[in-house]
Structure formats: C-alpha cells, structure tokens
Amino acid sequence: KAVHELAVAQALVEQVEAVISQHRAAGATSIRVRIGPLAGVVPDLLATAFPLAAAGSRLQHAALDLVEAPIKVRCQTCGAETEAAMNRLICGACGDWHTQVISGDDLLLESVELETSATPTP
C-alpha cells in the first residue's frame, strides 16, 4: 500500500515543480492537499512518502499540510446535499440510499506557497 502513496507523492512533487516553474519561483515553502476518505490514499502514508519523493527537489523543505475533506452526497430522491459516513452513503435528510457522492473522493492540490528569490529593485 505504501508504494501507492509514494507514487502519489511523486506525482504531487511533479505537479508542484510545474507550478514553481510556471511562476518562476525559487521553490515552495508550503503545500496544501485536500484528501477525501474515499480517495484511496492514506494521509499518514502520504505524509511519510512525501519527504522521500521531494528529496533533492525545489520543494524538499516545504511543509505538507493535509486537509481531510468530508464525504458529501446528493440525494436522488429529495435533492438534499448532506454529509455521509464512509460505509453509510445515505441521505442525511430523508434516509434514502439513492445518493451520488459529490465530495469526499477527491485528492486535490489546494494551494502552494512559493518562495521567490529576493532581487533588489534599482
């Protein structure tokens, strides 16, 4: 399982490296990632794998902030959008099980705090 999180961490490093290059920054100091319980990623394992994936990159000293996203469902019977539990994807309003997951399965790079090189202006 930890091999999966290492691959996710490596993809995250590549994505942040692209952001660093796009903004012509020196590196990244903070990275915020939103992870839902249904994303198939264990946050603790990702946190452990991240320093290995980031070693030698422009974000090797960046802090990784993992934010848990709640599971939300939309009821196909009454239309309500409510939070749900991992093994109980039922409507919180009417109790129906005809629901669609609208969040909680996400793995999203939310923000990157960039480090810019301090160049004095003449």
Tokens representing residue 92 in the block: 């919180």
Read off the pTM: 0.84
Beta strands in 1-120 (DSSP E): 27-35, 63-68, 72-75, 81-83, 99-103, 107-115
Nearest to 47 by CA among 26, 27, 69, 32: 32
The model's pLDDT over 89-106, given as tens digits with 9 standing for 90+, comes to 999 999 999 999 999 999
Q: Name the more confident of 117 and 87.
A: 87
**How confident is the model at residue 2, as a pLDDT?**
63
Distances (CA, A) of 91 to 36, 53, 78, 102: 18, 39, 9, 12
pLDDT band, very low/low/confident/very high, at 120 (cuts 50, 70, 90) = very low
Question: Would the pLDDT of 33 be above 90?
Answer: yes
The model's pLDDT over 39-91, given as tens digits with 9 standing for 90+, comes to 999 999 999 999 999 999 999 999 999 999 999 999 999 999 999 998 999 99
* Contact yes or no for 76/98 (Cβ under 8 A): yes
Mean pLDDT for all residues in the chain: 93
* pLDDT cut 70: percent of the chain above it: 94
* pLDDT cut 90: percent of the chain above it: 90
pLDDT band, very low/low/confident/very high, at 116 (cuts 50, 70, 90) = confident
